[in-house]
């Protein structure tokens, strides 16, 4: 049989690099970069090169599984679907629609996500639908829609090579958006100024013209001080402020005292603040990129607003090489949000509590839709513990490893009357399910992913699904049918996409053919912009004038004290992704880093008697893990750091569930911990072993 090459999109991060899958006799023989891809331009990072391991038929779930007293047993699709529908019907009759909900997946396609929220709203009749954006960029969606009218990256990846200054604020792109990290390094080599604001000394911070090594969680204090310095020196863009913004007076008044005590609060000196403020405001074109160092705080939404204030007063928006650019994380997190997999909005961010939007969807779907905004993902967890939530359908997420406070999540999931998990592999979350469904991977289905620069790209099927795996929208449709509804009866993925374009204004002029011809389409793509939009807000904002909104510093929820004297932040490593269920199948990636890791400054390590690579125990108010210490000057004394990819040493044993009041974003970037060295010669114990001891009451 001949070799076939199928162009598609990398299944990991939001950069959305183009890959070619080479197959022979229905087997994947290689993964290669697409030479002419508009973002990746013939490059891939190590995760992209290793994507075949993540979907290898070995260790995949190939058949539906049903829990029995002895463990899981294989079942037919008919039996699994009947079990799910019977369980849901019972909960709906006994407790009503609000006791059910869906957690969809930013790793799956737009078509899958559209189907998930339609099943929730049009069939189960609940707005309880959410996904990992909640604990990722939900403050971006909430913050930027208030200030600019749209919660997405304003500019494009290509702009990185057409700007004079890049300000990276709370993001680590060489590790996490590696191809963009490469663009930044190239731009910097060619003369673009680089400023990095991060408590850790990241790879880009080491190269930067200036590293603002601020204290954990002090973003607003630093940003307000920059705004105040700019206004005091008259460095603002007066014309832009006059013509395109409102709220300058209130903002000016609110930052009146922003320089007082700022050196102490942030750890950054006034001359450093002034120099960064001057460079950013006086550059012809300056681009802000930001990430989890801004959003994963109880102050997340206000942090985003503070960044937006800075860009707006300097008029650094609406032009090439400028903008406020959230580096959306997952391959399709932008799409999962666009598709309305959020409890308060339909596809296209049309609000569920707006009667007009509700009437529109009700008419289009020809059914009543629920009135009130639904529960967030953490909201469903808490409602379960309160006995108010009973049945959850979840796919393409592993909250037992990735949500904050692992012990709380496990308690909630074990209390559910029905937990359905559709996965590629047996994750810790799937192990807790009543019914496990085999999901087709990105290479085994067709659809679209929307990357971080709003580019909707075509994902094309290269392989048959393993075993009896089905595309997510297909099994979601089968559940709807089993519940007696034909709402999800589509013929193929293209038919789902057609429905999406009819009801989602920003996608209205898109179709698969045009997406293929133009190498993706950036939204808004409607009758006025049929070829898409590379730069948002050129002449106007969707809300008319942009809004400057005063915000004030907010402390992190848990400060260090005598019992827990160190602050822990959590981050990512280049070689692993999310819960690790895909990247850790690659022996090449697995070889790169030992599992776990606690990064700690040598001075703290010395005080505690901890040596390089020795075993340590880390305790917070919520949990305890063991791993190995890695001594590094990249962290200041007082701050330790753990990646969250390792199920045997999960940093989410420790993290805090304190939330941003508006978006319910938990504070994943800061909590107080204590660290102790383990007995010399001891190895760190995996969490399952530690938990088993606790259950037996040994420890």
Ligand X SMILES: Nc1nc2c(c(=O)[nH]1)N[C@H]1C(S)=C(S)[C@@H](COP(=O)(O)OP(=O)(O)OC[C@H]3O[C@@H](n4cnc5c(=O)[nH]c(N)nc54)[C@H](O)[C@@H]3O)O[C@H]1N2
Q: Is 25 exposed, middle or buried (0-12, 13-18, 19+ CB in 10 A)?
A: exposed
User: Least CB distance from residue 217 to ligand X, whole Å?
Assistant: 5
Torsion of CA 328, 331, 337, 341, to 10 degrees: -140
User: Least CB distance from residue 363 to Mo ion, whole Å?
Assistant: 34
Binding piece for Mo ion, criterion CB under 5 A, among 20-28, 129-137, 443-451, 611-619:
129-137
The H or E element spanning position 239 is helix 238-244
Pull the structure tokens for residue 666: 């938990």
Among Mo ion, ligand X, ligand SF4, none, the one that 299 touches (CB under a kind-dependent 5 to 8 A) is none
Q: Is 674 in the site for ligand SF4 (CB under 6 A)?
A: no
Among 204, 579, 598, 615, binds ligand X (CB under 6 A): 579
> Could you give the string, one character per residue 21-50, with x where binding to ligand SF4 holds by CB under 6 A and - elsewhere?
-------------------x---xx-xx--
Q: How far apart are the first and last CA of the chain?
A: 60
Q: Is 681 exposed, middle or buried (0-12, 13-18, 19+ CB in 10 A)?
A: exposed
Q: Which of residues 176-205 bind ligand SF4 (CB under 6 A)?
A: 177-179
Crossing angle for the helix pair 493-503 and 110-118, to the nearest 10 degrees: 70
Torsion of CA 112, 113, 116, 121, to 10 degrees: -140
**Beta strand pairing call for 286-290 and 324-326:** parallel
Q: Is 455 in the site for ligand SF4 (CB under 6 A)?
A: no
Pull the structure tokens for residue 498: 């057609």
Q: Is 223 in the site for Mo ion (CB under 5 A)?
A: no
Among ligand SF4, ligand X, Mo ion, none, the one that 48 touches (CB under a kind-dependent 5 to 8 A) is ligand SF4
CB within 8 Å of 211: residues ≥ 6 apart? 195, 196, 198, 201, 205
Q: How far apart are CA 335 and CA 341, in angstroms?
A: 9
3-class DSSP assignment, residue 56 = coil
Whichever of 157 and 196 has its CB closer to ligand SF4, that residue is: 157
Q: Is 336 in the site for ligand X (CB under 6 A)?
A: no
User: Least CB distance from residue 45 to Mo ion, whole Å?
Assistant: 16
Instruction: Calculate ∠ Cα 135-668-597, nearest 5°.
Output: 120
The H or E element spanning position 588 is helix 587-590
Q: How far apart are CA 409 and CA 284, in angstroms?
A: 48
Among ligand X, Mo ion, ligand SF4, none, the one that 10 touches (CB under a kind-dependent 5 to 8 A) is ligand SF4
> Could you give the string, one character per residue 11-30, with x where binding to ligand X holds by CB under 6 A and - elsewhere?
--x-----------------
Among 8, 402, 533, 663, binds ligand X (CB under 6 A): 402
Q: How far apart are CA 91 and CA 94, in angstroms?
A: 5
Pull the structure tokens for residue 188: 């910097």
User: Least CB distance from residue 234 to ligand X, whole Å?
Assistant: 27
Q: Which of residues 630-689 bind ligand X (CB under 6 A)?
A: 644, 651-652, 655, 668-669
In SS3 terms, 123-149 reads as HHCCCCEECHHHHCCHHHHHHHHHHCC
Among 329, 340, 684, 686, binds Mo ion (CB under 5 A): 329
Q: Is 399 in the site for Mo ion (CB under 5 A)?
A: no
Pull the structure tokens for residue 542: 């969707």
Q: Is 524 in the site for ligand X (CB under 6 A)?
A: no
Whichever of 157 and 687 has its CB closer to ligand SF4, that residue is: 157
Whichever of 12 and 564 has its CB closer to ligand SF4, that residue is: 12
Per DSSP (E only), the strands in 313-434 are: 324-326, 391-395, 418-423
Nearest to 685 by CA among 638, 636, 624: 624
Binding piece for ligand X, criterion CB under 6 A, among 22-30, 327-335, 524-532, 557-565:
327-335
**Beta strand pairing call for 447-450 and 193-197:** unpaired
> Could you give the string, one character per residue 243-282, with x where binding to ligand SF4 holds by CB under 6 A and - elsewhere?
----------------------------------------
Pull the structure tokens for residue 572: 């990512």
Q: Is 173 in the site for Mo ion (CB under 5 A)?
A: no
Among ligand SF4, ligand X, Mo ion, none, the one that 506 touches (CB under a kind-dependent 5 to 8 A) is none
Interacting residues with ligand SF4 (CB under 6 A): 10, 12-13, 15-17, 40, 44-45, 47-48, 177-179
Interacting residues with ligand X (CB under 6 A): 13, 105, 107-108, 132, 135-136, 169-172, 175-177, 197-200, 202, 214, 216-217, 219, 291-293, 296, 327, 329-330, 395-399, 402, 422-425, 427, 439, 441-442, 472, 569-572, 574, 576-579, 581-582, 644, 651-652, 655, 668-669
């Amino acid at each position: 049989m001949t070799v076939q090459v199928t162009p598609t999109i990398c299944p990991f991060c939001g950069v959305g690099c183009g890959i070619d899958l080479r197959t022979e006799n229905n087997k994947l023989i290689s993964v290669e970069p697409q030479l002419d891809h508009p973002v990746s331009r013939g490059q891939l990072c190590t995760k992209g090169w290793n994507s075949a391991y993540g979907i290898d038929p070995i260790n995949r779930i190939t058949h539906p599984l049903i829990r029995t007293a002895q463990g899981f047993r294989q079942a037919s699709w008919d039996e699994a679907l009947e079990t799910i529908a019977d369980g849901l019907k019972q909960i709906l009759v006994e407790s009503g629609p609000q006791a059910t909900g869906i957690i969809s997946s930013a790793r799956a396609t737009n078509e899958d996500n559209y189907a998930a929220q339609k099943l929730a709203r049009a069939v189960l009749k609940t707005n309880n639908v959410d996904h990992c954006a909640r604990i990722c960029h939900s403050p971006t969606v909430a913050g930027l829609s208030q200030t600019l009218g749209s919660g997405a990256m304003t500019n494009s990846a290509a702009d990185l090579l057409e700007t004079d200054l890049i300000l990276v604020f709370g993001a680590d792109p060489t590790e996490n958006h590696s191809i963009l990290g490469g663009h930044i390094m190239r731009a910097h080599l060619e003369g673009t100024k680089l400023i990095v604001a991060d408590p850790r000394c990241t790879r880009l911070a080491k190269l930067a013209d200036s590293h603002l090594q601020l204290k954990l969680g002090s973003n607003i204090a630093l940003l307000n001080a920059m705004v105040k310095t700019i206004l005091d020196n008259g460095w603002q863009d007066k014309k832009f402020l006059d013509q395109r913004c409102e709220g300058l007076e209130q903002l000016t008044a609110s930052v009146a005292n922003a320089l007082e005590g700022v050196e102490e609060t942030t750890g950054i000196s006034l001359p450093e603040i002034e120099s960064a403020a001057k460079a950013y405001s006086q550059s012809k074109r300056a681009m802000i990129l930001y990430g989890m160092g801004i959003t994963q705080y109880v102050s997340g939404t206000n942090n985003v607003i503070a960044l937006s204030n800075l860009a707006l007063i300097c008029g650094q928006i609406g032009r090439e090489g400028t903008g406020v650019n959230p580096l959306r994380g997952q391959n399709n997190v932008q799409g999962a949000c666009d598709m309305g997999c959020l409890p308060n909005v339909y596809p296209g961010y049309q609000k569920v509590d707006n009667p007009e939007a509700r009437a529109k969807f009700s008419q289009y779907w020809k059914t009543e839709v629920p009135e009130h905004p639904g529960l967030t993902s953490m909201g469903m967890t808490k409602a379960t513990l309160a006995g108010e939530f009973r049945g959850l359908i979840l796919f393409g997420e592993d909250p037992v490893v990735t949500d904050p406070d692992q012990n709380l999540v496990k308690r909630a999931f074990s209390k559910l009357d029905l937990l359905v998990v559709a996965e590629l592999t047996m994750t810790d979350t799937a192990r807790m399910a009543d019914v496990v469904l085999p999901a087709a991977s990105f290479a085994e289905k067709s659809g679209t992913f929307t990357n971080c620069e709003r580019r909707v790209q075509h994902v094309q099927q290269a392989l048959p699904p393993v075993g009896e795996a089905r595309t997510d929208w297909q099994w979601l449709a089968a559940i709807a049918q089993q519940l007696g509804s034909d709402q999800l009866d589509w013929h193929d993925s293209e038919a789902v996409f057609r429905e999406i374009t009819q009801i989602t204004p920003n996608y209205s002029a898109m179709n698969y053919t045009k997406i293929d011809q133009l190498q993706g389409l950036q939204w808004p793509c409607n009758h006025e912009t049929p070829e898409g939009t590379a730069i948002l807000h050129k002449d106007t904002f969707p809300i008319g004038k942009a809004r400057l909104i005063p915000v004030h510093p907010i402390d992190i929820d848990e400060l260090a004290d005598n019992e827990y004297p160190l602050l822990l932040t959590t981050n990512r490593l280049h070689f692993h992704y999310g819960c690790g269920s895909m990247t850790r199948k690659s022996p090449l990636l697995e070889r790169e880093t030992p599992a776990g890791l606690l990064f700690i400054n040598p001075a703290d390590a010395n005080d505690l008697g901890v040596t390089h690579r020795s075993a340590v125990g880390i305790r917070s108010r919520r949990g305890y893990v063991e791993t190995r210490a890695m001594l590094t000057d990249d962290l200041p004394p007082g701050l330790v750091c753990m990646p969250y990819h390792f199920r045997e040493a999960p940093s989410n044993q420790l993290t805090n569930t304190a939330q941003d009041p508006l978006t319910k974003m938990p504070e994943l970037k800061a909590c107080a911990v204590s660290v102790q060295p383990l007995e010399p010669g001891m190895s760190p114990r995996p969490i399952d072993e530690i938990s088993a001891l606790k259950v037996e009451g040994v420890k």
